[in-house]
Amino acid sequence: TYYDRIAAVNPQLNVYLSLSKERAMEQAARVDAMAAKGDPLPALAGVPVGIKDVLTMRGVPATAGSKILEGYEPPYDCTAVARLEQAGAVLLGKINCDEFAMGSSNENSAYGPVRNPVDPERVPGGSSGGSAAAVAANMAVATLGTDTGGSIRQPASFCGVVGVLPTWGRVSRYGLIAFASSLDRIGPFAGNVRDAATLLGVIAGQDEMDATSSPQPVPDYAAESDKGTEGLRIGVPAEYFAEGLDPEVRAQIEKGIDALRAAGCTIKPISLPHTKYAIPTYYLVATAEASANLARFDGVRYGHRSKTAETLSAMYRSSRDEGFGAEVKRRILLGTYALSAGYYDAYYGKAQQVRRLLAEEFLRAFAEVDAIVTPTSPMPAFKLGEKTGDPLSMYLADIYTVTASLAGICGVSVPCGATAAGLPVGMQVLSSHLQEGMAFRVARAVE
């Protein structure tokens, strides 16, 4: 049924880049056999799930939205992907995204943009726009995305679905094609908070293939999400309701805050004054790490190799020139500059110091409140092409999401009303390190 649905709507929405039909049908048959025998079924038995194309699936092309990886078939499964399958999920295929997860609109994919199912003239958000659109258009029950500076939360808000940013280290990054390793996280999208919580419970937990994965035990997130919100203290930071916030988005978030009050929460105004430094800090750290991570794409080990070059160094140069898109090149240039001798302390070193201040500011706030709520994005889904000529205005749209990324804390974007034109608005619910259960509880009271 899901493959029929994909065949019908993919030509318009451009969500799936490749399908893993054989593997999916084998898995479905395995689950059917278990059910027929009366065996107990695992948490996601038979649930159709789509995978962002920056995560590896053995034997299925992985492009990361880039021409440079065209033709690459990874020989191994990403840990999160393998855990979904062990829990009975049926993996449908690989989903479009911004090239190497760099972007906020999905327009940086070398395979064309994804369209927003709510309004196909508009972007689905990015970089995991395809993963959000797949759930919104019922082309999967749930999906995996990745979030480095907002790439799960912002497309969830643009498409009207739930998206989860787990604590950094909560989900193994083994099999995630790296963008900025100290920020990269894998997380689920689903149609409601409880389903998203169930998926996180399956993919989270320590993994011997990722030394940075947390050894903390994984709670039953779905059960955590059932606990209700009576007596919780919710922080509302003034800096996220300042200039630049679309009035219609503000109005919906204020209604969401009223719903929390009605659900027994105490609302506390708070201040996070370093918020204004988050965009420059994020775009220094992210581009610096990207310039290092993307050095491996040299035309030798994976994907595209230039056919014109006559020497080894010319081959490196032209493979990268032909394989990478404009946004990826811009970031490699920015990041290489920020890391270069003489500039390192002024840019990268300074950004690391500000990052620490941002994290400490959040921890101070979480000593007084259980969760913090904000808009996920200052605006609803914008039109295709509206921001492509102006990378800076695209970067500024990440203002509410990059703070939690830099601080390493977790959060959820949950649908919270719509504009008069019917465009979804998302509320971001943030909680402290490894407190995903708290974010789910609060988000349940809003959806």
Residues of this chain that interact with ligand GLN (CB under 6 A) are 101-104, 127, 147-151, 179, 286, 398
Between 149 and 325, CB nearer to ligand GLN: 149
Nearest to 447 by CA among 259, 269, 317: 259
Residue 405 annotated to the active site: no
Distance CA 149, CA 151 (A): 6
Closest distance to ligand GLN from the beta carbon of 429 (Å): 18
From the list 20, 128, 131, 151, the catalytic residue is 151
DSSP per-residue letters across 179-226? S-TTT-EEEEEESSHHHHHHHHHHHBB-BTTBTTS--SPPP-HHHHHT
Between 101 and 369, CB nearer to ligand GLN: 101
Residue 213 annotated to the active site: no
List of residues 6+ apart from 98 with CB closer than 8 A: 65, 104, 105, 106, 107, 108, 109, 126, 127, 129, 151, 327
Between 305 and 331, CB nearer to ligand GLN: 331
Between 151 and 291, CB nearer to ligand GLN: 151
Between 133 and 445, CB nearer to ligand GLN: 133
How, if at all, do strands 142-147 and 90-95 pair? Answer: unpaired
Between 15 and 90, CB nearer to ligand GLN: 15
In the chain, helix, strand, coil percent, each to 5? 40, 15, 40
Closest distance to ligand GLN from the beta carbon of 185 (Å): 9
Q: Are 285 and 351 in contact (CB under 8 A)?
A: yes
Closest distance to ligand GLN from the beta carbon of 405 (Å): 7
Q: Are 270 and 235 in contact (CB under 8 A)?
A: yes
List of residues 6+ apart from 223 with CB closer than 8 A: none
Distance CA 340, CA 126 (A): 29
The closest residue (CB) to ligand GLN is 151
From the list 127, 172, 225, 318, the catalytic residue is 127
Residue 268 annotated to the active site: no
Closest distance to ligand GLN from the beta carbon of 148 (Å): 3
Q: Could you tell me the CA-to-CA distances from 20 to 3, 51, 399 in Å, in that order? A: 10, 10, 36
Residue 127 preceded by cis peptide, ω within 30? yes
From the list 20, 52, 66, 157, the catalytic residue is 52
**Active site (catalytic) residues:** 52, 127, 151
